[in-house]
Structure 1
Amino acid sequence: MTQDFYCDEVLSGRTSVQKVFETDNVLAYHHTRPFYPVHIVTIPKKHISSLLTLEQSDNELLIELMDVVKKVATQVQSEYGACRVLTNLGKYQDSKHLHFHLFYGEPLHNDD
């Protein structure tokens, strides 16, 4: 497997996902292996490897992506009372495709 699960598996349809929200350019879905009781991933459909590699030409897409993040976070907060939003960079970023995690609750797994 390459380092881009989102393009190779999710966007290609090879791995089915439970969609939460979708536009022509952005997809939000329930994480396939959740770390939290509520764990949603939001991705641009265009391959962008990281928040740090965004180009000026990606500004409209970034606005749309953040709008979807806001909508989904609003839903989670409305239902559960809180929501965290996270993106990883560098060695913390396992899949080299820009994505935001939206989650609620305590971790399902203890890594200790």
Structure 2
Amino acid sequence: MSSKYEGSDFYCDLALSGKLELDVVYEDEHVLAFHHTNPYWPVHLVVIPKRHIPSFTDLGGHESEQLVHLVMVVKQVAAKIEEEYGAARVLTNLGEYQDSKHLHFHVNFGEPKTN
């Protein structure tokens, strides 16, 4: 990802629009999981709903079976990382910590990269 991106929803604007090539690990009609375009951890995947949902605390009336499905995909991705590396983290950011205002889960392993 270019560090020049200045929008508020990277996922709708670039990832889901097809404007950016992604290393996809899972995709269906409701969910997309891919390797982060600018990883912070040695293993860093992102899982997102394809429908725009602002954040985990602002589900925008989308509290439905699609969200259950999203969580199940997060679980599957995390289980695969845990199986392969022995551990995994699942993280979502809120408020000012959330750079992109589209619900997304980081699934990762390892210590943060330093530049």
Task: Tell me the C-alpha RMSD between the 2 structures.
Answer: 1.1
Residue 55 of structure 1 and its aligned partner are, at CA, apart by: 4.2
With the length of structure 2 as denominator, give the TM-score of the two structures: 0.91
Residue 60 of structure 1 and its aligned partner are, at CA, apart by: 1.0
SS in 2 for 1:53: coil
In the TM superposition, structure 1's runs of 4+ consecutive aligned residues that sit over 6 Å from their partners are none
With the length of structure 1 as denominator, give the TM-score of the two structures: 0.94
Matched, 1:32 2:37: yes
Q: How does 1:49-64 map to 2 (within 5 A)?
A: 49-64=54-69
**What letter corresponds to residue 23 of structure 2 in structure 1?**
Q
Percent identity over the alignment is 55
Q: How does 1:97-108 map to 2 (within 5 A)?
A: 97-108=102-113
SS in 2 for 1:50: coil
Whole-Å separation in 1 of the counterparts to 2:12 and 2:110: 28
Is there any run of 5+ residues in structure 2 with no aligned partner, and where? 1-5
Residue 57 of structure 1 and its aligned partner are, at CA, apart by: 4.0
Whole-Å separation in 2 of the counterparts to 1:74 and 1:51: 21
Whole-Å separation in 1 of the counterparts to 2:8 and 2:40: 19
User: How many aligned positions are there?
Assistant: 110
The verdict on how the C-alpha distance between 1:57 and 1:6 changes in structure 2, with shifts beyond 3 A counting, is closer
